[in-house]
Amino acid sequence: MKKAIFLILLSCLFQAEAQSSALTMADSLYATGSYTKAINFYAKVGSSRGNLQIARAYNSIGNYDKAILQYESLMDGSPELQIARFELGKLYLKTKRFDDGRKLFTSLVSDDANNPEYLYYQGESFRELDQSASSLVAYKKAVEVDSTHLKSIFQLGKYFVVKQETQEALKYLNLGLLFFENDVSLINLKALALFNNNEYSKALPFFERLLELEEHKPHIYGKLAHCYFKEWDFEKSKNTYHALIRMDKDDPDPYFNLGHVFLKEQQLDSAKFYIKKSKEVQDPSFHREYRSLAGIAREEEDLKGAFEYYKLAFKEEPSDYMAYYQICTTADQLFKDPNLKLQYYENFIKKFGPDIRYFSERAKKRISELKQELHFAKD
């Protein structure tokens, strides 16, 4: 009897040692990225921890279907195993099973409402399901639980920036920047929130800070240049647009905007050069360039040139009522024949009259004056 018990104990000891050895080997293989070999050793162990590592290994090699099955099997055997539920929930999101993720994270939040990660991923599930109101509630709760929860702060800031609710956006972005002052995503969102609210002087230093942090992206240069322009710092605006042009010589916008900086300085030759350059580098739709060139021609008192540019602008964009109205007013100044002037104004009424009330009224008033002029000329 004693001998039998001894043999049983000895067998258990050898089995425990074998499992321990297999677990050690599996952990070593997992740590060095040999996931398939690690799975084989974890399978020999047969413990909850081993099964969890098998799920993680399948996840690491991208076999998400097997990883999900392994996690779900773990949950069936140990429903209280929160780490497995948490990792499965994230895997549901990765594989676009958003409603499954929502259910799982809602369950986790129910078990532990003070875990900001559970709340954040619950918010992510709702966001992917286009349930914005519920996602905002989850993100806000995550921040209430942990005021430094960067991912939730970012999502809240981004949402309110997109919605152009500047004060709400700044509330969360400023909170995040208290703890993460050099976080480029938060700085970028704050700069955009202020820029979109036309607070260019306040946005400017944040765009400058992004460049200091090596965020050399075209949209940053473009908005920074516009801030300088709005603050009447034309030299910095020009330098920044030139930097943007060096980044992409085929983007028409920097040339166009640079032309308007020179126009603001009344440097008309340079303004024409850059606006024409914008026309040259872009696909053939030059509506805005022709209108700007028409405006410059008017500044130069070149009515004939302005008239031709306005006609070209309208040809490019036949729905632009302002371009056609400018054709009318320029023709009114350029030509002597009142019949010709009358023809342009009447065409404006035919094309746009019912929709453009203010300019239609002005056109009708001028039509009346021209008809009266013609009447007196006959007399």
Instruction: Name which residue leads in pLDDT, 27 or 7.
Output: 27
In this prediction, residue 9 has a pLDDT band, given cuts at 50, 70 and 90, of very low
Alpha helices in 32-115 (DSSP H): 35-45, 48-60, 64-77, 82-94, 98-111
- Secondary structure, 3-state, 199-259: CHHHHHHHHHHHHHCCCCCHHHHHHHHHHHHHCCCHHHHHHHHHHHHHHCCCCHHHHHHHH
pLDDT > 80? residue 29? no
CA 346 from chain center: how many Å? 45
pLDDT tens column, 291-342: 999 999 999 999 999 999 999 999 989 989 999 999 999 999 999 999 999 9
Tokens of 187: 């700085």
Cβ atoms < 10 Å from Cβ of 223:
22
**Which CATH architecture group holds 284-379?**
Alpha Horseshoe (1.25)
Interval 321-331: pLDDT, tens: 999 999 999 99
132-167 confidence digits (pLDDT tens): 999 999 999 999 999 999 999 999 999 999 999 999
> Side-chain half-sphere of 54: how many Cα atoms within 13 Å?
23
Site of tokens 């700007």 = 292
pLDDT-derived band of residue 38, with 50, 70 and 90 as boundaries?
Answer: confident
Distance of alpha carbon 71 from alpha carbon 83, whole angstroms:
10
Decide if 13-79 and 284-379 have a common fold.
yes
Contact 123, 152 (CB under 8 A): yes
Contact (CB, 8 A) for 96 and 68: no
Q: How many angstroms separate the Cα of 27 from the Cα of each of 30, 55, 74? A: 5, 13, 19
Q: Which fold has domain 13-79?
A: 1.25.40
Domain boundaries, given as residue ranges, for the chain: 13-79, 284-379
Convert the pLDDT of each residue in 53-70 to its tens digit.
888 888 899 999 999 999
State the amino acid at position 9 in one-letter form. Answer: L
Helix, coil or strand: residue 375: helix
Q: What percent of the chain shows pLDDT beyond 90?
A: 72
What the block records as the tokens of 192 is 């955009």
